[in-house]
Amino acid sequence: MLNVEGLTKQFGGLKAVDDVSFHVEPNTITAIIGPNGAGKSTLFNLIAGALPPTAGRIEFEGRDVTHAPAHEMARLGIARTFQTTHLFEEDTVLDNVIIGHRLRTRSGLWDAVVRSRRHRAEERECRERAYEALRFVGIESLADMPVRLISQEAKKRAAIALGLATQPKLLLLDEIAGGLNPEETQRVMGLIRKLVEHGYTVCFVEHKMHMVMSLADRIIVLHHGRKIAEGTPDEVRRNPDVIEAYLGGAAHAAGE
């Protein structure tokens, strides 16, 4: 589904992502791990089209999307959440999520000003998709609450709902369980499983090892921008390079 080859991103003298290749099978869960500053978020930014790569190639569903901008990637079916949720805190959850389906609509300014039939139909459709997504992530009853009043966990769910409203095939979740307590993390893990059960493909970045180990079908390990290992949780767990590069990080994660 997703095919990354020799992907490199250079910031000045720093190679944040350095010659990384991997691929993602449909309907699986891939975890990307690595110490702080390893280049995980940058990798997501490259895949999602938010940053242009310095070198390398990205293919999504057989199509070369290396230079596609972010809004084009969203249209092609990649949704993402950010390490810190960027939701608009003053608006309600529903108002935040409604906009997610806009990319599948065609109304422009003129339709809006004359209140055309198409615009009304598409508004309704966006609203329905938003409710559907909120129902999926389990926060439909919070639809009319301002985002700033809901919990961290609910915000993460709302961010996923916004992604789902774009009707994606692949979801990129950057530290979706960051800042959540163990119980909340457990529940979000349940949500990720549910996503895959419903046919979505998930890639996620995470520091919490138990979450990575129990969810991921495959794990990719980054260190200083380079991919130092890839495999099933068992393979990665036993990989000596990983243990060496990651020892501090793993100990840190275990302590969380």
Ligand X SMILES: Nc1ncnc2c1ncn2[C@@H]1O[C@H](COP(=O)(O)OP(=O)(O)OP(=O)(O)O)[C@@H](O)[C@H]1O
Rounded distance between C-alpha atoms, residue 173 and residue 223, angstroms:
19
Distance CA 143, CA 90 (A): 13
Q: Is 36 in the site for ligand X (CB under 6 A)?
A: yes
Q: Which position among 40, 80, 119, 157 is part of the footprint of ligand X (CB under 6 A)?
A: 40
Closest residue to Mg ion: CB criterion: 41
Q: Closer to other proteins at the Cβ: 138 or 233?
A: 138
Q: Tell me the per-residue interface mask from 188 to 227 with other proteins, x by CB under 8 A, - otherwise.
A: --xx-xx--x------------------------------
100 near other proteins (CB under 8 A): yes
- Which residue, 124 or 238, is less far from other proteins as judged by CB? 124
> In the range 152-171, which residues lie near other proteins by CB under 8 A?
153-154, 157, 162-163, 165-166
- Minimum CB separation from ligand X for residue 60, in Å? 20
Per CB under 8 A, residues contacting other proteins are 11-12, 48-50, 69-71, 74-75, 79-80, 82, 86-88, 91, 95, 98-100, 102-103, 105, 107-109, 111-113, 115, 119, 122-123, 126, 137-142, 145-146, 149-151, 153-154, 157, 162-163, 165-166, 186-187, 190-191, 193-194, 197
